[in-house]
Amino acid sequence: VSASMDTTARIWSASSGECMRELKGHEHEVTCVSFSPGGEHVLTASADRTAKLWAAASGECERTLAGHRGCVQSAAFSPDGRKVLTAAADRTARIWSAASGACVLTLEGHRHDVVSCASWSPDGAEVVTASFDRTAKLWDAVSGECVLTLAGHRGIVTSAAWSPDGTSVVTASADGTAKAWSAESGQCTMTFEGHQGWVRSAVWSPDGRQVLTASADNTARIWDAVSGACDRVFNGHEEAVTSAVWSADGQQVLLGSSDSTATIWSAASGALVRTLEGHQGSVVSAAFSPSS
DSSP assignment of 141-172: TTT--EEEEEE--SS-EEEEEE-TTSSEEEEE
Helix-then-strand count for the chain, H and E = 0, 28
**Which residues touch 30 (CB under 8 Å, ≥6 apart)?**
3, 4, 5, 7, 8, 9, 44, 45, 46, 284, 285
Distance CA 285, CA 292 (A): 17
Q: What's the pTM?
A: 0.96
Q: Residues in the chain, how many?
A: 292
What distance in Å separates the CA atoms of residue 90 and residue 73, rounded to the nearest whole number?
10
Q: How confident is the model at residue 107, as a pLDDT?
A: 99
Q: Classify residue 56 by its DSSP letter.
A: T
Are 181 and 169 within 8 A, CB to CB?
yes
Cα separation, 93 vs 139, whole angstroms = 10
**What pLDDT is attached to residue 217?**
98
* Domains annotated on the chain, with CATH: 69-286 (2.130.10.10)
Mean pLDDT by 10 residues, the chain (292 residues): 92 92 97 96 98 97 98 98 98 98 98 97 99 99 98 98 99 99 98 98 98 98 98 97 97 96 97 93 92 74
**How far is residue 168's CA from residue 163's CA, in Å, rounded to a whole number?**
5
